[in-house]
Amino acid sequence: MDESSKQHIKEIRSPIEAQIGKVERYDTEYERNGVSNIFMFFEPLTGSRRVEITDQHTAVDWAKQIKTLVDDDYPNAERITLVMDNLNIHTGASLYKAFPPEEARRILNKLEFQYTPKHGSWLNMAEIELSILSKQCLDRRIPNQEVLKKEVSAWAEKRNEHPTPMNWRFTTEDARIKLKKLYPTID
């Protein structure tokens, strides 16, 4: 799983429509209209994804997403391995902020956290999915969260109609070479 944000930008002047031989033109001036958070959950073995848009990105927001992962996405799973970056809210403590202790413990008992190394977010496949989302869907001005939700939902639905498992080619041997400086050494 990974997160990103998207700034909402409203046009101040109407764009000039595209014509034969000319692309659409718009003014560089715009109005900033807030920011939304994007949660991306990607299942590399099936190629499916769940994308949620929220107002903010707090420990409680993250905990609610994790509860959805456990209860709705994988209700029959004994164990869910969750790969994510080492952000301060990506911990069991966030679950305890959001839910009563028994509920937080129930959710935690189904999870195994795997953190990507510092400066290694590219090892997180959800980060790759966010990059694809950005290039295919978010590479333009989006005026508000309502439009963002509609656009992202349509993108995810289309991608999920023809899921493609991720063919990860980064091997353990490659990791030992590329990430050598991250491995402990004995002096």
CATH number at residue 39: 3.30.420
Q: What is the DSSP letter of 122?
A: G
Query: Burial level of 67, CB count in 10 A (0-12/13-18/19+)?
Result: middle
Residue 78 structural domain: 2-159
Question: Which of the four pLDDT bands, split at 50, 70 and 90, describes residue 123?
Answer: low
Is residue 174 domain-resident?
no
The count of domains in the chain is 1
Is residue 148 domain-resident?
yes
**Which of residues 23 and 55 earns the better pLDDT score?**
55
Is residue 111 domain-resident?
yes
Q: Give the mean pLDDT of 116-143.
A: 85
**Which of residues 40 and 29 earns the better pLDDT score?**
40
Statement: residue 165 has pLDDT above 70:
yes
Is residue 182 domain-resident?
no
Residue 164 is encoded by which pair of tokens?
Answer: 């493609």
**For 66-122, how does the pLDDT look when each residue is reduced to its tens digit (9 = 90+)?**
999 999 999 999 999 999 988 899 999 999 999 999 999 999 999 999 988 776 666
Is residue 173 domain-resident?
no
Give the residue from 48, 36, 39 showing the smallest Cα distance to 158: 48
Statement: residue 35 has pLDDT above 70:
yes
Pairing of strands 30-43, 2-11: antiparallel
Task: Give the span between the Cα atoms of 105 and 96, in whole angstroms.
Answer: 8
Is residue 21 domain-resident?
yes
Q: Give the mean pLDDT of 157-176.
A: 84
Is residue 14 domain-resident?
yes
pLDDT exceeding 90 applies to what percent of the chain?
63
Is residue 104 domain-resident?
yes
pTM strictly above 0.75: yes
Question: Which of the four pLDDT bands, split at 50, 70 and 90, describes residue 12?
Answer: confident
Could you tell me where the beta strands, DSSP code E, fall in 12-90? 30-43, 48-54, 80-84
Statement: residue 182 has pLDDT above 70:
no
